[in-house]
Amino acid sequence: NDVLLALPAGTQATVVGGPTAADGLTWWQVRGALAGNAFDGWAAETAPGGAVLLERTTSPVDGPAPPPAGSFQIGDTIITRTVVRMRRTPGITNKPANDVIADISQGVRGTVRGGPQAADSLIWWQVATTSPAGASVTGWMAETAPGGAVLLEKAPAIVTPPQQGTFALGELAVSADTARVRRTPGINNKPPDDVLAAFEPRTTLNILEGPRRVDGLDWWRVGGITLTVGEVIGWVAERAPNGVALVTKPPKLPGANIPDRATGNYLGAPFAGAFGISQLWGENPQIYSRISYDGVPLKGHNGIDFLTPNGVVLLAVDDGVVAEVVPNDPSGFGMYVKLHHSWGESLYAHMQSFSVQPGQSIRRGDTIGRSDNTGFSNGPHLHFAIRINPYNRQDGWGGFSDPLPYLNPRDVQLPPYVLGAAVAAAAAASLEARAAYRPLEEAPGYSPDLPGLRRP
N- to C-terminal Cα distance for the chain?
54
Which is it for the CA torsion 419, 423, 428, 432, positive or negative? Answer: negative
pLDDT tens, per residue, the chain with 456 residues: 788 888 888 888 888 888 988 999 999 988 887 776 777 889 999 999 999 999 988 666 555 555 567 889 989 999 998 899 999 999 998 889 899 999 998 888 999 998 888 888 899 999 999 888 778 899 999 999 998 899 999 988 765 444 456 899 889 999 999 999 999 999 999 998 999 999 999 999 999 999 999 999 999 999 999 999 999 999 999 999 999 999 999 999 999 999 999 899 999 999 999 899 999 999 999 999 999 999 999 999 999 999 999 999 999 999 999 999 999 998 889 999 999 999 999 999 999 999 999 999 999 999 999 999 999 888 899 999 999 999 999 999 999 999 999 999 989 988 887 776 544 444 334 444 444 444 344 455 665 655 566 778
Q: CA 40, CA 72: separation in Å to the nearest integer?
A: 22
Alpha-carbon distances of 43 from 13, 127, 366, rounded to whole Å = 11, 19, 45
Q: CA 231, CA 202: separation in Å to the nearest integer?
A: 15
Beta strands in 131-203 (DSSP E): 136-142, 152-154, 163-164, 167-168, 172-175, 179-182, 195-199
Name the helix (H) or strand (E) containing 207. strand 204-214
Q: CA 285, CA 288: separation in Å to the nearest integer?
A: 5
Q: CA 99, CA 310: separation in Å to the nearest integer?
A: 19
Name the helix (H) or strand (E) containing 321. strand 320-329
Read off φ and ψ for residue 40, nearest 5 degrees.
Answer: -155, 115
Q: CA 440, CA 435: separation in Å to the nearest integer?
A: 10
- Residue 11, burial from CB neighbour count under 10 angstroms (0-12, 13-18, 19+): middle
Q: Which residues pair with 37 in a beta bridge?
A: 34
Question: Which residues lie below 8 Å from residue 416, measured CB to CB, with a gap of 6+?
Answer: 423, 426, 427, 429, 430, 433
Q: Which residues pair with 321 in a beta bridge?
A: 340, 361
Q: Which domains does the chain have, with CATH numbers?
A: 1-64 (no CATH), 77-154 (2.30.30.40), 163-248 (2.30.30), 277-442 (2.70.70.10)
Q: What is the pTM of this model?
A: 0.61
Q: If we measure between CA atoms, which residue out of 100, 115, 230, 225 comes closest to residue 175?
A: 225
Which is it for the CA torsion 167, 173, 178, 184, positive or negative? Answer: positive
Question: How many CB atoms are located within 10 Å of the residue 439 CB?
Answer: 13
Cβ 269 vs Cβ 316: under 8 Å: no
